[in-house]
Amino acid sequence: MEVCGIREHLWLKWDPQRLGTIFKPVAPYVLRPEELQTFMNRLASLKVPTDYCGSLGKHIMDKKLGLMKSHDWHVLMQQLMPLVLRGLMDAHVCLSLMRLSRVYRNICAKVWDPIDLPTLKEDVAITLSMLEWEFPVAFFDVMSHLTLHIVEELDICGPVHTRWMYPIEQAMKVFKGYVRNRSRLEAFMADGYILDETIGFVTKYL
């Protein structure tokens, strides 16, 4: 980055106190220990509606998030990130992350107007440009660039929520619970599904 003349705040520098030593300055997108503790405390103390997402507090282990389902990560990225990051980190970095959360919230909306598509494309481009000011070059791979193409898929395929895998994953979890013998997977799933449908029919209509 120093050779390219970009992101001067991330350049390696000589330590004036220890001669011959190079130190790496703290990047503005890195949370300080007290900020990280505040971030985790906010997540652990959040109260959300039933079945809105999993309990985030139980996934905090040694100031790290782990073993979360993909739906919980989506809720954290789209809804909770602007809330728990408020007042933390550098203001420009925090604003860019909040804009990214808003972009994904708009992409995953159940109802959207095709007229707003050019505005959404422009919003994605501006948000990624803001991230490029702060994050190193290695951060921007094909996955970060994919955000632009997801917006284009809205125009071609329609809303995202009609195409994602959450309902199928939830159904497969139920079906796998029917299995009692791994040599007859499909048979146990079919029997369990028929039994569940029969009990539901008898309960509701008889």
Residue-wise pLDDT for 162-172, tens only, equals 887 778 888 88
Residue 172 and residue 141 share a domain: no
Q: Is there a contact between 188 and 181 (Cβ–Cβ < 8 Å)?
A: yes
User: Encoding tokens for residue 134?
Assistant: 């702060």
The mean pLDDT value of the chain amounts to 84
Q: Which of residues 57 and 155 earns the better pLDDT score?
A: 155
Pairing of strands 60-61, 13-14: unpaired
Neighbours of 127 (CB within 10 A): 21
Where residue 134 falls among pLDDT bands split at 50, 70, 90?
confident
Residue 88 and residue 186 share a domain: no
Please tell me the distance from the alpha carbon of residue 110 to that of residue 29, in angstroms, as a whole number: 31
Please tell me the distance from the alpha carbon of residue 89 to that of residue 68, in angstroms, as a whole number: 24
Neighbours of 172 (CB within 10 A): 12
Q: Where are the alpha helices (DSSP H) in the chain?
A: 33-45, 70-75, 81-84, 91-107, 117-134, 142-157, 166-177, 185-205
Q: What angle do CA 75, 81, 84 make, to 5 degrees?
A: 125
Of 162, 179, 197, the one marking the end of a domain is: 162
Residue 175 lies in a domain: yes
Range of the domain at 199: 166-205
Residue 77 lies in a domain: yes
Residue 145 and residue 173 share a domain: no
Residue 114 and residue 132 share a domain: yes
Residue 144 and residue 42 share a domain: yes
pLDDT single digits (tens) 59-113: 777 677 777 777 788 888 888 888 888 888 888 888 888 898 998 888 888 887 8
Residue 191 and residue 101 share a domain: no
Residue 182 and residue 150 share a domain: no
Residue 122 and residue 103 share a domain: yes
Q: Is there a contact between 27 and 64 (Cβ–Cβ < 8 Å)?
A: no
Residue 19 lies in a domain: no
H/E stretch holding 68: none
Q: Per the structure, how many domains does the chain have?
A: 2
Residue 81 and residue 63 share a domain: yes
Residue 196 and residue 150 share a domain: no
Residue 129 and residue 191 share a domain: no
CB-side neighbour CA atoms (13 Å) of 96:
17
Residue 113 and residue 60 share a domain: yes
Neighbours of 93 (CB within 10 A): 20
Q: What is the pLDDT of residue 109?
A: 84
Of the candidates 41, 139, 53, 34, the residue with the CA atom closest to the CA atom of residue 97:
139
